[in-house]
Amino acid sequence: MRTAPTILHLDMDAFFASAEQASKPSLRGKAVIVGGLGPRGVVATASYEARVFGVHSAMPMAQARRLAPNAACLVPRFAFYRSISEQVMGLLRSLSPLVEPLSLDEAFVDLEAGGAAGDADSARLVGEGLRADILAVTGLTGSVGLAACKMLAKIASEQAKPDGLVLIEPGTERSLLEPMPVRTLPGVGPATGDHLRRAGIHTVGEIAEAGEGELVRLLGKAHGQALHAMALAHDERPVVAEREAKSVSVEDTYDVDIHDRLRVGLEVRRLADRCVRRLRASGLSGRTIVLKVRRYDFSTLTRSETLRGPTDDPAVVREAAARLLESVDTTGGVRLLGVGVTGLADYTQEDLFAQAAGARAESLAEEPAEEPDEEQAAPAERRWPSGHDVRHAEHGHGWVQGSGVGRVTVRFETPLSEPGRVRTFRVDDPDLEPADPLPLVRRRQNGAEGAEGAACAVGGVDPAL
Catalytic residues: 106
Whether 192 and 215 have beta carbons less than 8 Å apart is answered as no
Neighbours of 221 (CB within 10 A): 11
Whether 438 and 389 have beta carbons less than 8 Å apart is answered as yes
Question: Residue 105 annotated as binding?
Answer: yes
**Distance, CA of 43 to CA of 27 (rounded, Å):** 17
Beta-carbon-side half-sphere exposure of residue 402 (alpha carbons within 13 Å): 7
Written as one string, the DSSP assignment of 202-234 is: -BHHHHHHH-HHHHHHHH-HHHHHHHHHHHTT-
**Distance, CA of 10 to CA of 63 (rounded, Å):** 30
Beta bridge pairs of residue 292 = 302, 338
Q: How are beta strands 43-46 and 7-12 bridged, if at all?
A: unpaired
Torsion sign, CA atoms 364, 370, 371, 375: negative
**Distance, CA of 65 to CA of 73 (rounded, Å):** 8
Helix axes 349-366, 314-326, angle to 10 degrees: 80
User: Which helix (DSSP H) or strand (DSSP E) does residue 301 occupy?
Assistant: strand 300-311
Q: Which residue type occupies 61?
A: M
Residue 253: exposed, middle, or buried by beta-carbon count in 10 A (0-12, 13-18, 19+)? Answer: middle
Question: Residue 260 annotated as binding?
Answer: no
User: Which helix (DSSP H) or strand (DSSP E) does residue 263 occupy?
Assistant: helix 261-281
Whether 33 and 61 have beta carbons less than 8 Å apart is answered as yes
Residues within the annotated binding site for Mg(2+)? 11, 105
